[in-house]
Structure 1
C-alpha cells in the first residue's frame, strides 16, 4: 500500500467507530490505529476534537469517542451496504426523475449537498436540472425522496415517476452511468478480496489489520456509492458476488480488528 492509498485521519476514525463490533474507542486506541497508516498522534487528536465540535463524534468521557448525532446518518448509510442487494427489484422500465432547475446553482453549499445526494442514490444528470434513475428500487418513491432529503437535497425539489420518457433514446440514458467502469470495479474488488483472504492468516496482526481496512474500505465505498442499476444496464450477478464476498471479508476483518484493538 502506498501513502496515497492510506485513509485520512477523519476517514479512518469514522470507519472504525462505525463498525458494530467496536462502537467506541479511547484516544490511545485511535492513535494506535493512526500509526498503522503513518498518521501522527497530533493529527488524530486534532481530528477527533474537530469531529466532536461538528457533532459527528461525541465524547461521553474524557478521551473516549463514539459516533455523534451528526455522524449517525453517515454511518447508517455506510452500514447499509450489507443489505444493498435487498433494495433492488425487477425493473419494468419506469424511471424516477428529480427536477431541480428552479432551485438554481448559486448556493455552492446547497449545490454540493444536492449533488452528493444524487451521487449516493444512483441518479445521473439527464439534462441540466433534471436527474433520473431506473425505478428498480423496492422502496416507494416517497421513501426515495425522504432519503434524498436526508442526504442534502432541498425539499423544494420535484420528484416524478415516469412510465416512459418519450423522445429519449435507450442508449442516451444508459450512458448516464459508466457501465464498463462499474463492471471492471466489481471484478477488481472481487479479485482483491479473494487474494487477501488467502494470505491474511500468514500475515502479522498489524499488517492484516492494515490490509483489511485498505481493501474493505474500497469495496464498501463501491457498494455504498453504487447506483444499483438493473440487469438491463449492468452485470448484477457480478455486483451481487462482490457484495456477498464483502460480507465474508468483513467478518474476517472484524475478528482481526478486535484482536488488534485489544492489544492497542
Structure 2
C-alpha cells in the first residue's frame, strides 16, 4: 500500500534548494538554514559546509557575508521543480493517438547515456513497451516537436527516433503493466487525504514543538506530493481517474499556501 509517511529526510542541499524554490523567498541567511536543518537533525557544521559547496557549484550565490540567493544552476532546478504548478494545464483531451520513441539502435553499452535516456523518457511519462520502444498517449497540449525538444533537453539525445502513431493495438493487461492504474489512483487518494488531514489539524499546537512538527510535516508531505505530480505520466481519463489526480493537484495548491504559513510561524522571531 502507498505510504505517504515513508519519507526520506532531506540532505542539506535538497532542503535549501527546495525551500528556495518558493517564489516568495528571495534570499536566506546561514542562521535560517541552520534552524531549518535542526528540524531534520542536520548538524549546523554540515549545513554551513553544504552552503559553501552550493555557492561553489553555482546553485547559490553569495549576496553578502552569510546571506545567499539562488544561483543560475539552482534556478534551473527550481524551475523544473515548480513545473507541478502547471501540470494539469499541459494535458488535454486524448484522441487515441500515441507518441512513440525508438532507442533500440542506440545500444546499451554506455550505461550513463542509457540511464539518462531512460530517465528523460520516464519524466515525460513514457513507458517501455518493448526493449528500446517507448510509448505514451499523445494527450499533451504541446506539439510533438515541443515534446521532442523537452526530451532532448532532459537528455534523450539527438539520435532517438520520435514519431506519432494513429493507434496502438494493445491488450488491456499490457496497458496495465505499463502504467499501473491502481497504484497511481491509490497514491492520488492517499496523498490528497494526508493533505486534508494535515490542514484540518492546523496550528492547534501553538508551542514551539508544535510549530516545528507542523513545519516538518508540511515540508515532507509537500515534497511527496510534488514528486508524485512531477513524476506522474499525466494519462488521459480512459486510462486513469483524472478527477482524482486533479483533486490532488488542487489540494496541493491550497496545501502550499498552508505550508508557507506554517513555515512563517516557525521562523517568526521568538520561535525556537
Q: Same fold (TM over 0.5)?
A: yes
The equivalent residue for 1:49 is 52
Question: More deviation in 101-110 or 245-254?
Answer: 101-110
The equivalent residue for 2:200 is 198
2: distance between equivalents of 1:202 and 1:64? 33
1:84 aligns with 2:87: yes
Task: Tell me: CA distance 1:52–1:155, structure 2 relative to 1, closer, same or farther (3 Å).
Answer: farther
Q: Deviations over 1:168-220 (max 9, x none)?
A: 43432342112111110001101101110011221322221111101111111
- Give 1:3 deviation, angstroms: 9.5
Task: Tell me: CA distance 1:52–1:225, structure 2 relative to 1, closer, same or farther (3 Å).
Answer: same
| Secondary structure in 2 matching 1:201 | coil
2: distance between equivalents of 1:159 and 1:48? 41
User: Does the 8 Å CA contact 2:98/2:138 hold for their aligned counterparts?
Assistant: yes
The equivalent residue for 1:130 is 133
RMSD over equivalenced CA pairs, Å: 2.0
Query: Which of 113, 128, 136 pairs up with 2:116?
Result: 113
Task: Tell me: CA distance 1:49–1:115, structure 2 relative to 1, closer, same or farther (3 Å).
Answer: farther
1:223 aligns with 2:225: no
1:162 aligns with 2:170: no
Structure 2 regions of 5+ residues with no counterpart? none
Structure 1 regions of 5+ residues with no counterpart? none
Q: Deviations over 1:238-258 (max 9, x none)?
A: 000000001001011112223
- Runs of 4+ with deviation above 6 angstroms: none
Query: Which of 92, 96, 103 pairs up with 1:93?
Result: 96
| Secondary structure in 1 matching 2:178 | coil
TM-score by length of 1: 0.92
Task: Tell me: CA distance 1:125–1:205, structure 2 relative to 1, closer, same or farther (3 Å).
Answer: same
Q: Give the aligned length.
A: 263
The equivalent residue for 1:35 is 38
